[in-house]
Amino acid sequence: MCGRFASAMAAEELMHRFGITITENIRPRWNVAPGQNATVITRDGQKTIAISATWGLPINSVNKTMLINARMETAKEKPTFSSAFERSRCIVVASGWYEWSAPKTPWHIHLRDGGVIAMAGLLLRRGVKSRFVIITSAADGKLAKIHHRQPLVLGAGDEKEWLGGTADKAGALCKIAPASWFNWHRVSSDVGEIAVDHADLVTPLKADEFLPTRTAQGDLFA
């Protein structure tokens, strides 16, 4: 799954990457959590635009349960997501995402070149509010030792097709991103606190700060 991510890119970087115009100030976020707003790229007619949308689709008002991910294998057919897959796909822009391995060890995962991660998403409108979910795939290679799922990360050449192509063409883009695209390192458990949001969250832990789990998980670096 993907339950937290960082979105710390400058507006200029997004405008260059996606060929869009952004007039509003985008504040760097280091710990985006479900229920919070984030920047997503979508289509408005023939135009590609950036909007702010809320992460997660409420399914239970009593305990505030939300759907935050859609499985790559079923998103196209699942009634909850099929309409959005057909008509309102989006790209959730991130600088990295967080995942937890046992025992409750957080990792920050990012592209090797440090660039923008284009996570495939679905935009769902509920009343006047735009909401999104992140599509996930099975994890590849050593990433599966952290968690068995990972975001569906689009290649740079696939982004226009994902946003504006047919559902069948978008479905053909649902491929597992290879672990070789990414680097990852352990980070502070502070990322588990929703209220904590600063650049130090992505700083790698020093070796002596994660010795209790080093032996069990050392091969994740190989």
Q: In this model, does residue 212 exceed pLDDT 50?
A: no
- E strands of the chain, at which residues? 4-7, 29-32, 37-44, 47-55, 57-60, 65-67, 69-71, 89-94, 96-101, 105-111, 117-126, 129-138, 149-151, 182-186
66-77 exposure pattern, b = at least 16 Cβ within 10 A, e = fewer:
bebbbbbeebbe
Going along the chain from its start, the domains and CATH numbers come out as 4-216 (3.90.1680.10)
106-118 pLDDT tens trace? 999 999 999 999 9
The phi, psi pair for 32, rounded to 5°, reads: -80, 125
Among 23, 149, 160, 32, CA closest to 91: 160
Please state the pTM of the whole predicted model: 0.91
Q: In this model, does residue 218 exceed pLDDT 80?
A: no
Give start and end residues of each alpha helix (H) in the chain.
11-18, 79-87, 159-164, 167-172, 211-217
What pLDDT is attached to residue 216?
A: 44
DSSP 8-state code for residue 207: G
5-56 pLDDT tens trace? 999 999 999 999 999 999 888 899 999 999 999 999 999 988 999 999 999 9
